[in-house]
Amino acid sequence: MPAPSRPALYLYTRSTDASTTITVDASQPNAIPISQDIFGNFLEDLGHAIERGILADAILNPSLEPENPSDTAPPFWTLQGNATWVEGGYYSPHAVQLAGATNGLAVGRLEQTVFLPVTRDPHYRFEALCRSLGTAGTIELLIEGTDAREGQVFAQRPIVVHGRTWQKVTFTFSVQEATPQKGEAYRFVLAYTNGDPVIVDRISLMPTDNIAGLDPEVVARAREWHIPILRYPGGNFSSGYHWEDGIGDPNRRPSSRNPAWGGIQSNRFGTDEFLHFCHLLHIQPQITVNAGDGTPENAAAWVAYCNGAPDSSVYAQMRAENGHPAPYGVKIWEVGNELYGDWQIGHTDAQGNAQRFVMFRDAMLRVDPTIKLIATGKGDEFTPEGLSRDAAWNEALLRRSLEEGNRPPDYLSIHPLLPLPEAAGAPDYDAQYQSAMAFPTFLDRVMFPQLAHLIQQGEGPYPHTRLAVTEWGIIVGGPNWRSVPNHSTFSGAIFNALMLNAMMRHSDLISIANMTGFMHGGCIEKVRGVVYVDPQYYTQQLYAAAKPYYPVAIHIEGPGEDVPARGRLQAVTDVPDVDAFAALTKDRNTLTLFLINRLIEGDRLVRLTLNDFEARSVSATILMADSPMAANDWAHPDRIKPQPYMLPTGFLKEDSSLNLPAHTLLVLTLHR
């Protein structure tokens, strides 16, 4: 694939010189600014992102429900002795009965392995719904040690349950451990002690430093991230999600099997919790409605719940009754997710998607004509034949939306995800890495311009529709994903920097982008109760914090390479070893340069020339690692993080050269 000529704003000239010369001309800022919403992210109930991630509660499957009809015990729980999984829970099908020793059975015990942040907060709030099968029964709460601490008891509290009607039991207690360690496992136990049998359900174990039920460390990391917009509830999950299940009293919400990903979906984190989370972070919510097995009427009702005045509909009244009388005013709504894929609940063809969008659009705009809508576009195939299929899908959507003089979508979504190792089809790490790091160049030169042309063909030279890249990043593409570049290692950080550079070059086209993903697909991690971040978290943090606004002209001249076609990826020629992007802040007083050495090996000397920007000060931050395969983990959470970079003495005054190590992101910040 030859590299087409680029507009004057960005130019790369391949040379045989070992060094790279970068010329930045600040006198030519682009009149179309960079939307800060391209630094967004998305949150989905996938891989414990909700239950074992954003939520502070240490208990999984609190309502003791099965994942599959064949389950003989509630997932995540162990029943010991005379403990029985019974029907008839509190607003749920199941509960657990605890009774005394009988017929060779020991006393009933209900157990779950939990990870408690005792080093942060030793105080916990227990809650459960209980009833006895007689006059009164007594059980006890125990927090026991595991592994080397087996046999130790760190908390013990009796619970007396009177009568046969459900009653909420709640109290606060402390875990008494002299030298707690991060990541240690505890055993949470409810055990029968005496009296009548006791039935328990809806169990919660919440650290008292929770923030409205959310993990305070996750909230802190999210605040430090500077993301401006957050997509929810997905993702594939959205195509089987019914929002009514996630509102109202959490103890009355149904639990069920996660329809997209498996596992238990407790619905403890629903619409109000998500919007409160966005409020805590001061970010804009972006909601994906269920266009899989959902209906236009259901989507319109969700808009009414979020945005209607309290007396405007029964749904807005429900929101008021649930504690939020004022409308939330959610402006960005996405209609469906990947409806082209046979992996998607309710998937359809191009014509079906086009018709579905029109039906949802009309129903949702009748409720709130001020909202902005994202239509399900297609951008997941990268061969010439695949790009043609993408185009046919998108053409059908735009054509149908414009019929009868109606408005087109405000945004067209694409998901140019890179599933490795499957997509590259290469046998070794180096080839996988090379193809992965060339992929953003392919998007920059081929896919994004083709999409811009397609939209203009349908809407004219000044189109209404913009692009929303609502999922992007390296994702899991098979069982051997950990042996190739992936989202959890430093390779993901370099890939994401190259992607952000590519998208910022198209500020006239791309208005929203949601990196994959908030607590799945590498970003904020929570393992054994320990919160830490993957390297690619820092990439997005550095870009978002810089607030690049006006792109300026940049010319890169230096060595590059030709990357052959592999798997489902086209060949890309003239891929620069050093990628660069420059932008002014909104007040034009700060110029930020993002420099990336994409090579797996080999430092690069960079010579920088600035035109029409006299800097009074300059600082630099570097994100680097010993290897692209390096990663943070729960035991070594700070192995990789941004560091101040000492620029050469007299940089930009006497000499404008610097050394850029292999697989490195360097952010230069210059002030007038």
Across the strands, what pairs with 221?
A: none
Q: What is the pLDDT of residues 580-597, one digit of tens each?
A: 999 999 999 999 999 999
E strand or H helix that includes residue 420: strand 418-421
Give the closest residue to 419 by CA, choosing from 509, 338, 327, 306: 338
Identify the segments of the chain with pLDDT beneath 70.
1-8
- Quick one: 385 exposed, middle or buried, by C-beta within 10 A (0-12, 13-18, 19+)? exposed
Whole-angstrom distance, CA of residue 129 vs CA of residue 206: 15
Residue with tokens 């908030």: 518
Would you state the pLDDT for residue 8?
A: 63
Q: What is the pTM of this model?
A: 0.96
Whole-angstrom distance, CA of residue 658 vs CA of residue 601: 17
Give the closest residue to 188 by CA, choosing from 172, 176, 167, 204: 204
CB 241 within 8 A of CB 234: yes
Residue type, 542: L
CB 193 within 8 A of CB 140: yes
Whole-angstrom distance, CA of residue 103 vs CA of residue 106: 9
Greatest pairwise CA separation for the chain in angstroms: 89
Whole-angstrom distance, CA of residue 332 vs CA of residue 329: 9
Would you state the pLDDT for residue 4?
A: 38
CB 442 within 8 A of CB 572: yes
Q: For residue 64, is it left (φ>0), alpha (ψ between -120 and 50) or beta?
A: left
Q: Find out whether the peptide bond into 134 is cis, omega within 30 degrees of 0.
A: no
Give the closest residue to 217 by CA, choosing from 55, 46, 50: 55
Would you state the pLDDT for residue 284?
A: 98
DSSP string, 142-163: EEEE-GGGTT-EEEEEEEEEES
Would you state the pLDDT for residue 5?
A: 37
Whole-angstrom distance, CA of residue 395 vs CA of residue 377: 9
Would you state the pLDDT for residue 426?
A: 80
CB 107 within 8 A of CB 82: yes
Residue type, 41: N
CA torsion sign for 551, 552, 553, 557 is negative
CB 493 within 8 A of CB 536: yes
Would you state the pLDDT for residue 325?
A: 97
Residue with tokens 């802040």: 585
Tokens for 582, please give them: 């420059």
Chain CA centroid to CA 607, Å: 37
Would you state the pLDDT for residue 2?
A: 37
Provide the b/e sequence for 505-523 (b: ≥16 CB within 10 Å).
bbbbbbbbbbbbbbbbbbb
Whole-angstrom distance, CA of residue 164 vs CA of residue 33: 65
